[in-house]
Structure 1
Amino acid sequence: MNPELFESLRRRIDQEIPGAIALRHKLHSMPDLSGSEGPTLELVLNALPGDLQARFVAGTGAVLRIGGPGKAIAIRAELDALPALEESELDWASKRPGVMHACGHDVHLAAVVALARAVHSTAGAAPMALVFQPREETYPSGAKDICATGILAEEDVRATVAAHVQPLLPGGTVACTPGAVNASSDEFVINIQGRGGHAAYPHIAADPVLALSHVVVSLQNIVSRNVDPMDSVVLTIATLQAGTAANVIPGTAAARGTVRTMSTPVRAEVLRRLAETVRLVAAAHGCSGEVTVTEGEPVLENDAHIVKATAPLLLALGMDVDSNLRSAGSDDFSYFSEKMPSLMMFVGTSGAGERLHSSTFVPHDSHVHDVAHALLAGYVGAARTLLPAHELPLVVAPTS
């Protein structure tokens, strides 16, 4: 085993950062929406060593392997941008009006390329599978589709690792938290069927607006009275729709919302109570009610063993480690964590803009370096945890 290998990989990544930043600028200036990421993928593939063979998957995604046969660690990066109008005024701002990398995916892609080039040029590194994933921002999920193909099993992937920029954390800090770190995400539509009529004669109508109003209030009791206070749940009604005139009681009313939970059993119970509450409260007002749920991402669970192995490596790379950050946001990386041990880290970018998905969120170029180092730590931590010792000549040499 070579005790200098980890340090060699770090130095090699640092040599790759200028090229990765140049790639980041290209990606940021020419973003592609979910499902149309072909040009973005082409830019990324052209930045990788030419002898790597891409296996195309999930429409506009690809998986590439670095290293010889055997068990591998997968590194995932997202290809898609958001339908947002950029307001950064950078020289390399989006040239496509209404499309922007407002979630840092350009940073993730550039960092993965830097790591991949470093691993490719370093003898003895553990096998790696690069997963360039489409459709992280929309349904149907690109991660779910990749998992369904079986390609990760074909490549003998034993763990997946990813990192996401996070303006809630200060620069130089990486959240590496065991257990649930992102919530499940389900969307729902509520439809209340009543009996319309003249607003002056409510007694001969069945008012779906009144019924829906009580439904909205009653649903909040699911969180406050049906869920353990130690469990985290968000239930938000985001849209209401009913009626066309002030003097007409409509026949129907509808609402849309989302449920976020940090536990799979709690998720199932909340969705059950949601349907029950809508049905019973509507019936109490002489109406009928039903719920249609669009199932989204499962809970994203970080493997505790990989976290334990990765945190010291982050410290060795000069990063501060946060072991507490969790979010009710969701990420379809959770489909990978549902299949195998996985690690999602959050890399601090405070000062990069107001928030994720905002028109001014443009992380500094230095965060390409930070994300690449975080991914290096996660890759080595996962390999040390899950790959047999005879396949793993990765030994940490602490950096100064």
Structure 2
Amino acid sequence: MDDFCEWLVDCYEWLLETPGGKAGTSSGGITHAVSAGFYRRLGTGFSSQSHSSKHNEDILQPPDIMASPTFHRFPDLPPELRLKIWEEASAGPAMHVFDLCFPSWRGAERSRRAFEDADGNISEDRRHRWEEYSRCVFLDKLETGPRELRRATRVARHAHDPSAYRLRGALRLACVEAGANVSRPVEENVVYLPGRDEKIAYDNAEDVLFLRFRDSGALTELSQGVLFGEFDASGANSLGEVLEGPWSAEMASTLHGARKIALDVAETWTLATVGTVMLEEVAYLGCCLQDGLCVLYLVDHCPGRCSRCHRHEQNAKRLQARGELFRQLHCMTASEDGVREPDVIRGVGKTYREVFDLEALGWTDTHPSYVFARAMDETLRSQQADADAQSFQGIRILVVEDDEVDGLDTTTLMDCNPSGAEDRMAAKAWDMSLRWSS
């Protein structure tokens, strides 16, 4: 981001020295590319020009930020500066977030909405696809907006989709220059959204596929639905086929190809009436994700925004110390170096930063999320070893920071730690940890 600011300063200085020119190969202005903070940073630059001998309409004037967030002189920039800005706008690693839709005893409303239009209707063509996918697990774009924010769940809800694939799609349509900088990756993975009959390709070597189950307990529900035979797996003649039974063919292909996957850490917790994620369910999920997987991220939305768990003042910079829990999770000794730059994943209005201080997150060796992380780490490594394809690098924890974006509501709501739930969950997690360690 510092490089980006330097490039914008170069743009500003160049425009100050250059009379209004003719539009280049790009057309129109660039909207929402420059935040109000950027102009405040350049305040001295604007004031230094205010005493020029003669007012010239061709000289760039201080913009009225409240009146217009559009940078109209963008086409007049030198091509190399425009290209640098487009490159920065589409740079990765990036986060792509999708909802998992699947058959549920709670109903099929979420799966059905994936096939509905804005008025809640399903066309004849979509109805045929809905009948085909109604008993399958498939992916859909992230649900956002007022209705989503009002939902009662401990999983994070967003006013706006932070997925980078939507920004990159818009950049491809902006102009030829922007489209050229959002080129097809060398190694790509494809996500299919059957409700919209849409395919989305992303950089599989660098970007992260974030799977959202939408509710704590949904992960358990899906796993048990397969393990206890609640989903139709007719014709299956092996354990692998049974485990893969409810997944749509496109969904299975996406998961088997994904190198980096993220889950909401809140989804590893469940209410006491449902029970915690058990070993069999961890094994099932690991079986679905392990093929070629390099990193599994657990995303924590609480630090910096949630006051119920007393972590609203935390941020990634304060969570970089490597403690005993981190070393146990990664099978390291105190004498091992383990120094590695934290991962930074970019979204739209969100930045996902890796942290190492698990104790400061409130985790203990019996915390449900930590028990899940250790069990999943062991499961993935074991399954890849059995397949003689050991590419897994470990479980990594990300916290989410909000970025200010002009004209974009980046609100994210949490309903963390319902009254008394933490103690009940910890007791169940301790029972699970004993089973896992035995």
Q: TM-score range by the shorter chain?
A: under 0.3
Normalised TM-score (structure 1): 0.26
Structure with greater proportional strand content: 1
Normalised TM-score (structure 2): 0.25
